[in-house]
Structure 1
Amino acid sequence: MLKPTYPIETARLLLRPYTMDDLDGLHDFHSRPDVVRYLYWDARTRDETKAALQTKIGQAEFNEENDTLCIAAELRDTRALVGDMYLFWRSKEHRQGEIGFVFHPDHHGRGLATEASKEILRLGFEELGLHRIYGRCDARNNASAKLMERLGMRREAHLVENEIFKGEWSDELVFAMLRREWR
């Protein structure tokens, strides 16, 4: 079991579990078509965001394989919710995890996603004891690909037209890092 000690503080962010107080902030970016362009859901209504938030609230710790850790990223100085972080525990036997992130476009270009993602990698490697953490993105999602490269993750695969995504064939990029590379 892994229950992080919250809040996790970085230079500019607090990473913490979600609460119902996050509804407005989360809806502010989950409702935007430009944010969800490369995600598996469409822009959410307020009710859909509320349902997603209720699920996230119950995902603040790992208890078993296939659990998801959902963490809110908020600015330390203003307490504004700016990011939505994920760590998926994909395999206990093979000690594999997957990182995910969604940030409000108003806060892009400031290194906040990199700052938060480094802490998610640390949680996975140092606290959960994972051997390998990977991340996936649509090949057209340059911002996510560049973020994973900045984190030091290596590009391991470019899957060509591997799935129909929002009505069209799309390519997928896979990036990964091993625990020994994290150290």
Structure 2
Amino acid sequence: MLHAAYPIHTERLILRPFTADDLDDLYAYHSRPDVVRYLYWETRDRAQARQALADRAGKQVLDAEGQSIVLAVVWRENGRVVGEVNLAWLSRAHRQGEIGFVFNPEFQGRGLATEAAEVLLRLGFRELGLHRIIGRCDARNRPSAAALERLGMRREAHLVHNEIFKGEWSDEFVYALLDHEWLNRRPAAPRAARPPV
């Protein structure tokens, strides 16, 4: 069972449940084709983003397997929601979980997703008592794969043509980290901001 105390602060970020005031920031990235390219949903109009926001706002506690938490990631430098992170409880008996993240490309390349995901690893391993946490991504999604690797996760599988995704065969990478590996590794260091293009 996980009942985290929100907000959660990191060096540069605030992680907290979504609120109705986050609609503009969430819509800013949920409406972008480049964001949803490797996700299971399509771009959202404002009404669909409002519904997605309401769904996310209710996901802040893990009481049973099959549930997930979804947290807004606020970059303290500008006070905006720049993305979201999630932790799913896959199995109580086998102590398994899964992390994921979606970020506004305007704020990528600064290590914010990695910094936020570090919090979810801590919640999963330390607070929920998980033994194994996985992360999955489309094999073409190099930024997500790189973020999972920076977290110290090991690529355990490259599933070839494992599903028809948005009309074409796609490959999937599966990454994993065990509780003792997490305890013994060095947390990912924040990345320096990329120079403006």
Flag whether TM exceeds 0.5 (same fold): yes
SS at match of 1:21: helix
Shift of 1:94: 0.4
SS at match of 2:113: helix
Distance 1:47 1:40 in 2: 18
Distance 1:25 1:146 in 2: 25
Q: Any residues of structure 2 matched to 1:25-44 within 5 Å, and which?
A: 25-44=25-44
Q: In the alignment, what sits opposite 2:65? A: 65
Shift of 1:65: 0.7
SS at match of 1:144: helix
Distance 2:150 2:47 in 1: 35
Distance 1:144 1:31 in 2: 19
Distance 1:31 1:84 in 2: 14
Q: Any residues of structure 2 matched to 1:33-182 within 5 Å, and which?
A: 33-182=33-182
SS at match of 1:83: strand
What's the Cα RMSD here? 0.6
Shift of 1:77: 3.0
SS at match of 1:169: strand
Deviation string 1:21-52 (CA, Å, 9 cap, x unpaired) is: 11110000010000000000001111111111
Deviation string 1:66-119 (CA, Å, 9 cap, x unpaired) is: 001000000123210001110010001000000000011011111111100111
Which consecutive unaligned segments of at least 5 residues does structure 1 have? none
SS at match of 2:49: helix
Which consecutive unaligned segments of at least 5 residues does structure 2 have? 184-197
Letter in 2 for 1:5: A
Distance 1:81 1:8 in 2: 14
TM (norm. structure 1) is 0.99
Identity of aligned residues (%): 60
SS at match of 1:126: helix
Q: In the alignment, what sits opposite 2:192? A: none
SS at match of 1:52: helix
Letter in 2 for 1:36: V
SS at match of 2:48: helix
Distance 1:79 1:17 in 2: 15
TM (norm. structure 2) is 0.92
Equivalenced residues, count: 183
SS at match of 1:122: helix
